[in-house]
Structure 1
Amino acid sequence: MTDTRKPVWSWLIVLVVAALLTQTALNVVRPVTTYKLLDLGADPTVLGLITAAYAVVPLATALWFGRISDRVLDLRWLVAGGAGLLALGSVGLAVASNIPLVGLASALLGLGHLVFTIAGQASVARYAPADRMNTGFGWFTAAYSAGQLIGPLIGGFLLGTETGSAAEGRSAGIAIALWVGALLALAAAPMMLIRSAAGPGRGRLEVEQLGPETGEEPAETSGVPAGKATLVGVLRVRGVASHMLASLALLAMLDILTAFLPLVGEAAGVSPAEVGILLAVRAMASISSRVFLPRLSLRYSARALLLLSLYGSGLALILPPLVITHVWAVVPLLILGGFCLGLGQPLTMTLVSMSVPESWRGAALAVRLTGNRAGQVVMPLVAGLIAAPLGAAGAIWFTCGVLLLSGWEKSVRSDPPPSG
């Protein structure tokens, strides 16, 4: 008889390939959108508004989609739908002729990313064994980091090396890059129609005790009711709000770097191709940390690794805007900051998943994404206002401050003791 408790990972391979395609598309499109807005005459405040528009619709719909992911039997269709929306948003950006249309297309792009991410995370939470959940989330988010590496390189290559007034003729390159992003996202949809074996969902007996990876006790033994998951109910679970703050800060830094580093580079005379390489360096470092996360989790607690992620990235990313023209200085800082950033997201996914009852996990991950999207609305708006008097570097420095604040909050709070 086959041991049904052994994980079957073919579903994860398909999911990771789809994630690589969609996130490559997303990270071709989002930095290029900054250059399109510059061509349309946008200033840093407008850039902050458009970056926030990316998260407005997801902010209102994340919990709803999370509940759907808990109920739907076949998550492949939800993942494929997210990829299709990403493609549609990229097409909208390619054909948009003014700033409001760019904002609408960005909102659609954000919705596609939300749907894909919720369905993908729910797949990992549903099918990965409890003691291998960090591995599943690690590989899923490593695909995101790989897309964050490849996408800016493609976009930078298509836009070229000209800056300032010499770059007035790059509109054609911007349009081509956005269409390339649309095609990459569209290619991910049929990937999910491949019939792949998926491991059986875990029964409650399989999650009664956690390993040293999480350092959290299961919610079922913490007095959490196992009824319908609500926003308030999930947030009241001990530790969840803190994990969400950390996740919000980490994701905000990725967004701010993607949107504002091209602006820093443009002001300093650094070409789109060079900025693309710098963003790829950051992403490569994040890939390495996510690949090594399962091994690191065996030696260090999730709390220690999350503190390293928050403090390390918050401190390392203060200086790159000041030394962006000096490759020897900016590359090591982006490597260090990227490595630390890469650790945090899969850790917060695991910590949130393991803090709530199993039947709440899709909704809890969606609540986490709701917090992320709230941060993606508020943080760029505030960062854009700060960037107006201080320059684009001010937006990055502000986000570093939020990372350090989240690290301090984690340091002083009392987490639930490990079970067993």
Structure 2
Amino acid sequence: MGAEANNAASGTLRWLLVLVATALLSQTTLNLVRPVTTYKLISLDAGPVTVGLATAAYALLPMVTAVWLGRFSSRIPKIRFLMLAGAGLMGLGSLGIATAQGYIMVAVASAVLGMGHLMFTIGGQSSIARYFPDDQLDKGFGWFTAAYSAGQFLGPLIAGIILGTSTVADSPERIADINLSLWIGGACALLAIPLLLPNLQPKIKKVAASSAPKPQASMVSILKVKGMPSHMLASLTLLSILDILTAFLPLVAEKHGVTPAAVGALLAIRGSASVVSRLFLPWISRHFSRKAMLLTSLYTAGITIAIAPVFIDTLWLAGLALLIGGFFLGMGQPVTMTMVSTSVPSQDRGAALAVRLMGNRLGQVVLPMAASTVAVGAGPAGAIWFCCGLLCLSGIEKSLRK
């Protein structure tokens, strides 16, 4: 039994390392492509409303397919195939944005990118929920999302280095650099495919898939679980601020004459801080309750990130605000994953995580459109402040819930 347990633990760790490596590549793609998409739209003479609509398009397909994909992930024995398809679509979407000549094609390619990211994310999260014991879920989700945060650091940094310090939005050199960045982003996603082709999924003796309890929970029944809507509200606000920040910080910077390289550095600071918090999440979770961690994440991130647009001209202050905000943002998301997955029976965890993702994508469709409307009157910084306010409101809602 001891040798069998060791083999199982070794298989689980090996698969987690594959998940971490492919998550790093997929998130590098996503966080390189998405801010550069804003610069692509700026070069096409787009305004805040167009940027908001293109940002919302990213989440449109995932919003309507998330629950079905979640149930599918609970049944599919070789879950890496779902992740393989996701990586391929992310590469395709990135290349589509690079070759797009107008707003509509950028939006369509963004939707393909979003669908690929959803498929990869559901596959990765469902793997952790399936193969990790409950007392190690924080570790599994923490490592997986730490890789996401590392990609959130590398993607904007690479984009900033390529785009450089020019502030001429539609110069031929800037447009060429934008397209080069997008091609590099697509290549990163495709590099995940060779890592997922070998069958390295854990060979753990669990109840056979054919005799395991079938997922029974519907979306409505999952949403009726005590605390689930509250967990999902926190999750969608924590994720949506990343989208709003990625899409609108370049607009704030363009307005103030701040270079793309500086924007890339600021977004990289935010991502690196999230890496640190997620690596330390197992230690933090031993000393604080999940609710306390989530509340601290919502309030602190909401307040500190709102400061960044105010001091965009003073880069060290904006960087400090994003450093603190990024740390607490990084802590909140994996906590919501654990809270959602432990609120339902094990056979329904894939579906529950998918409902969470559907809520996230709903937020990613609705909030960018709402934020872009705010930006028309208050400027692009208003879009960021709007979402920061929602973080704090979510914290209040969570505080009042027993």
* Fold shared per TM-score above 0.5: yes
Match for residue 143 of structure 1 among 135, 147, 156: 147
Contact 2:42 2:169 in 1 (8 A): no
Pairs within 5 Å for 1:177-192 = 177-192=181-196
CA distance in 2, matches of 1:202, 1:394: 50
* Cross-structure match for 2:358: 370
CA distance in 2, matches of 1:286, 1:370: 23
Q: Structure 1 residues 389, 184: CA separation in 2 closer, same or farther (over 3 Å shift)? A: same
CA distance in 2, matches of 1:7, 1:245: 34
* Cross-structure match for 2:5: 4
How much has 1:364 moved relative to structure 2? Answer: 0.3
| Shift >3 Å, 4+ stretches | 3-6, 164-169
Q: Does 1:403 align with 2:391?
A: yes
* Cross-structure match for 2:158: 154
Pairs within 5 Å for 1:11-410 = 11-164=15-168, 167=171, 169-196=173-200, 198=202, 200=204, 228-410=216-398
More helix by share: 2
Q: Structure 1 residues 308, 201: CA separation in 2 closer, same or farther (over 3 Å shift)? A: farther
How much has 1:196 moved relative to structure 2? Answer: 2.1
Gaps of 5+ in 2: 208-212
CA distance in 1, matches of 2:164, 2:374: 29
User: AA paired with 1:195?
Assistant: N
TM-score, scaled to structure 1: 0.91
Q: Structure 1 residues 231, 165: CA separation in 2 closer, same or farther (over 3 Å shift)? A: closer
User: AA paired with 1:281?
Assistant: I
How much has 1:194 moved relative to structure 2? Answer: 2.6
- SS of equivalent to 1:355: coil
CA distance in 1, matches of 2:179, 2:319: 29
Aligned-residue sequence identity (percent) comes to: 54
CA distance in 2, matches of 1:256, 1:271: 19
- SS of equivalent to 2:197: coil
- SS of equivalent to 1:329: helix
* Per-residue Cα deviation, 1:18-47 (whole angstroms, up to 9, x for no partner): 010111011111100000000111100110
* Per-residue Cα deviation, 1:54-90 (whole angstroms, up to 9, x for no partner): 0000000000100100000011111111000000101
CA distance in 2, matches of 1:335, 1:245: 24
How much has 1:197 moved relative to structure 2? Answer: 5.0
CA distance in 2, matches of 1:201, 1:330: 50
CA-atom RMSD, angstroms?
1.6
Contact 1:11 1:197 in 2 (8 A): yes
* Per-residue Cα deviation, 1:118-138 (whole angstroms, up to 9, x for no partner): 000000000111100000000
CA distance in 1, matches of 2:60, 2:339: 25
CA distance in 2, matches of 1:95, 1:310: 38
TM-score, scaled to structure 2: 0.95
Contact 2:168 2:174 in 1 (8 A): no
Contact 2:94 2:109 in 1 (8 A): yes
Contact 1:24 1:184 in 2 (8 A): yes
How much has 1:319 moved relative to structure 2? Answer: 1.0
How much has 1:169 moved relative to structure 2? Answer: 3.2
Contact 1:128 1:199 in 2 (8 A): no
